[in-house]
């Protein structure tokens, strides 16, 4: 197997199903060696495998590719470190980390429990931080030793995080945090030969089928292109993981079906400057005018309507 990721070593979290599974298969088709991390799989990469992660490993091997499964909890700092070390020991190095693991605990804010908040924040935010930290330790040490890296971190944010969606304050807050994490990390780690980007995907998965996407996808005839198919997200992520993407870092991309766009972050809008301290009473005439002149927030499609 050969392609734009020939010989690259890729670690993908949450890779046993849905969008992550599509990543794993496409990276393999493009010549990469792939570690499939998922809590549903407890494999060491040898012999036949069982469980969701193992099934993806078997599928890649049947294609002639190289893959191993990993069952570490990536929101656990030690578990994430063990995962990265296992990839390095198994494949000799790591070139790409795709942080894709996630869960949902949707609830209106007034009804949300602390446990529902903490679980989502932990899996998404800590589950992005911990693997990234472990991989960066490896790349930094290589850089200090005089080696050259051409490495990638690809994170997963969401339209809920960068545009907003009712009932997902925990999920949206985590995903907004990941977008900010991406921009800042890119500023910090370029010196080590590492780029950091993120995607905000829209596709039909187990996590989105209850948000109306199941009905939309079912309405597409079987012989036509389905823009909500999860495999459509993989091409962009695989390209970002390739050597071709070295000049792109610190960006967030929207992707659904064949549509790809760059998400443009917060910018300063209409402003007023008194060049001194405001009296609160003065702002009654200022703030409504600024808001009236400001562009509206984008909708879930990233569009201002």
C-alpha dist (Å) from residue 65 to 8, 24, 58, 100: 12, 11, 9, 21
Marked catalytic residue, from 23, 160, 171, 245: 171
Query: Quick check: is 171 catalytic?
Result: yes
CA–CA gap between residue 130 and residue 113 (Å, rounded): 25
Query: Quick check: is 158 catalytic?
Result: yes
Show contacts of 138-144: CB within 8 Å, 24+ apart.
Answer: 138/84, 138/88, 138/94, 139/189, 139/192, 139/193, 139/194, 140/192, 142/192, 143/191, 143/192, 143/193
Six token digits for residue 155: 């994170």
Six token digits for residue 233: 């997200």
Marked catalytic residue, from 143, 158, 160, 245: 158
Query: Quick check: is 2 catalytic?
Result: no
Marked catalytic residue, from 23, 81, 132, 175: 175
Number of CB atoms found within 10 A of residue 224's CB: 7
CA–CA gap between residue 121 and residue 129 (Å, rounded): 11
Active site amino acids: 158, 171, 175
């Amino acid at each position: 197997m050969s392609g734009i990721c020939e010989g690259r070593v890729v670690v993908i979290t949450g890779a046993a199903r849905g969008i992550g599974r599509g990543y794993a298969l496409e990276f393999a088709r493009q010549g990469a060696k792939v570690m499939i991390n998922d809590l549903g799989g407890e494999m060491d990469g040898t012999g036949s495998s069982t469980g969701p992660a193992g099934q993806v490993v078997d599928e890649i091997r049947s294609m002639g590719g190289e893959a191993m499964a990993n069952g570490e909890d990536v929101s656990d700092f030690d578990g994430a470190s063990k995962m990265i070390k296992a990839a390095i020991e198994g494949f000799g190095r790591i070139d790409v980390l795709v942080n894709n693991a996630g869960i949902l605990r949707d609830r209106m804010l007034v009804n949300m429990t602390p446990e529902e908040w903490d679980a989502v924040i932990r899996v998404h935010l800590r589950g992005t931080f911990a693997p990234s930290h472990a991989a960066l330790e490896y790349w930094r040490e290589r850089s200090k030793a005089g080696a050259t890296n051409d490495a990638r971190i690809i994170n997963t944010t969401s339209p809920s995080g960068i545009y907003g969606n009712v009932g997902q304050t925990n999920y949206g807050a985590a995903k907004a945090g990941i977008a900010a994490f991406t921009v800042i990390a890119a500023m910090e780690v370029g010196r080590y030969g590492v780029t950091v980007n993120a995607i905000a995907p829209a596709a039909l998965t187990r996590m989105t089928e209850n948000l109306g996407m199941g009905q939309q996808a079912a309405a597409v005839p079987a012989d036509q292109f389905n823009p909500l198919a999860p495999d459509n997200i993989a091409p962009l992520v695989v390209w970002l993981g390739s050597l071709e993407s070295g000049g792109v870092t610190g960006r967030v991309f929207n992707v659904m079906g064949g549509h790809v766009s760059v998400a443009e972050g917060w910018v300063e809008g209409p402003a007023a400057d008194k060049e001194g301290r405001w009296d609160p009473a003065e702002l009654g005439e200022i703030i409504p005018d600024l808001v009236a002149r400001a562009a509206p927030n984008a909708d879930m499609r990233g569009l201002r309507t």
